[in-house]
């Protein structure tokens, strides 16, 4: 059964942010990327579907939980960060 993921276009998270604020900079990770070139976040807290190890992502993609995706290495991702997310 495919889970409910939030999709964010790669172009939005790989270019420098237009708004000021706090961002987490994620470097050289492999991501689960949809056919329409979006990264995936899962659940209430937006768990990133990425890892430094491509084998982990390749395994994740074999699970029936994911929509049609591929493993893509992104050199840099700017993820908005709210300190209150971790309360």
State pTM to two decimals: 0.86
Q: pLDDT in tens for each of the 87 residues of the chain?
A: 567 889 999 999 999 998 888 899 999 999 999 999 999 999 877 889 999 999 999 999 998 888 888 999 999 999 987 766 555
Domain assignment of residue 83, yes or no? no
Give the pair of three-digit tokens for residue 49. 């579907």
Please check whether residue 67 is in contact with residue 5, taking contact to mean a CB–CB distance below 8 angstroms.
Answer: yes
Domain containing 59 equals 1-10+22-72
How remote is the C-alpha of 78 from its chain's centroid? 10
Which helix (H) or strand (E) element contains residue 51? strand 50-51
- Number of independent structural domains in the chain: 1
Of 62, 84, 80, nearest in space to 71 by CA: 62
Instruction: Kindly give, in sequence order, each residue whose CB lies less than 8 Å from that of residue 4, ignoring residues fewer than 6 positions away.
Output: none
Domain assignment of residue 80, yes or no? no
């Amino acid at each position: 059964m495919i889970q409910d993921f939030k999709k964010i276009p790669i172009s939005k998270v790989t270019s420098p942010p237009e708004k000021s604020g706090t961002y987490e900079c994620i470097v050289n990770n492999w991501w689960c990327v949809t056919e329409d070139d979006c990264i995936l976040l899962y659940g209430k807290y937006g768990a990133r579907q990425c890892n430094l190890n491509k084998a982990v992502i390749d395994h994740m993609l074999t699970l029936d939980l994911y929509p049609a995706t591929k493993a893509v290495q992104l050199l840099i991702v700017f993820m908005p960060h709210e300190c209150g997310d971790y309360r």
